[in-house]
Amino acid sequence: MSENNGSTRAFDTAAADFDRLGEYLWRPIAAATLARTAPAAGERVLDACCGTGASALPTAEAIGAAGRVDAVDLSEGLIEILRQRAAGYSQLYPHIGDVTAWPDGGYDLVQVVLGIFFFPDMTAGTEYLISRVRPGGRAGFTIWRRGAVETAGKHLATAVAAVTGTPPPSPRPAHPVDELNQPEPFGTWLGERGLTDITVAEHELRLSMTPEIAWLLITGSGFAGAFTELDAAQTAAVRDAYLTSLDNAGIRDLDATTLIGVGRRP
């Protein structure tokens, strides 16, 4: 996703909008992920890059009071929202932290929904998380399928350039995830990380781009990092330019399809 270019710090400032976007994006994707990772009663789960709990909360439901889910995210704002929601679940433990240095291990399941491509070293971070799984346990990783949500990033970048009077944006730099965001390479890559019994599922999703949702997609995600330096008037101008640009291009909905890769640690 072009979100890769945005700082994860953007999630702190965008916490409320991030949470509102959950209804359209994070929660449906989390539900599809859980259908594959299948957290079960009594299990110990690490929900890495948990955001406001789109996958951690239903995981807590699935594992029940005898289980435990550690939900970890770098963003204090997002964890604060999750803490308020977690109050009713004694088995759900929200933590502010960097999952690529999370000390605990021996988990029955480690799951990361739309998180690994933010790691400074995606491969090393993913291998580290797999090492947190007990032998015989499962790891599940959800990433955007090639091309998903990119259109929004292109229209946003053009709008920011127009408002700030900077040259039109060049294509976003390559990211290692670009090499594996199709089912077959993703499965191969997970195998190279040491997993076995790998399945990769495609979860088709189209996001209806009403003006409200189209802008929420920006302010409630890592895309918000593209204009953290702008003042309120410039931000309003970016919003108008972005929505006009989408409208002129006839974009009414957006591909938000994900790949869900699950495997077992031998």
Ligand X SMILES: C[S@@+](CC[C@H](N)C(=O)[O-])C[C@H]1O[C@@H](n2cnc3c(N)ncnc32)[C@H](O)[C@@H]1O
Residues near ligand X, by CB under 6 A = 8, 11, 26, 29-30, 49-51, 54-55, 72-75, 78, 98-100, 113-115, 118-119
Residue nearest to ligand X (CB): 51
Q: Which is nearer to ligand X, 55 or 181 (CB)?
A: 55
Q: Which is nearer to ligand X, 91 or 100 (CB)?
A: 100
Q: How far apart are CA 46 and CA 94, in angstroms?
A: 10
- Min. distance of Cβ 186 from ligand X in angstroms? 17
Q: How far apart are CA 120 and CA 113, in angstroms?
A: 17
Q: Which is nearer to ligand X, 34 or 159 (CB)?
A: 34
- Min. distance of Cβ 32 from ligand X in angstroms? 11
Query: Which residue in 63, 38, 62, 59 sits closest to 47, CA to CA?
Result: 59
Q: Which is nearer to ligand X, 115 or 153 (CB)?
A: 115
Residue 8, both tokens: 């994860």
- Min. distance of Cβ 183 from ligand X in angstroms? 20
Give bridge partners of residue 112 from the DSSP assignment: 48, 141
Q: How far apart are CA 124 and CA 130, in angstroms?
A: 10
Contact 42, 66 (CB under 8 A): yes
- Min. distance of Cβ 165 from ligand X in angstroms? 30
Query: Which residue in 134, 46, 24 sits closest to 95, CA to CA?
Result: 46
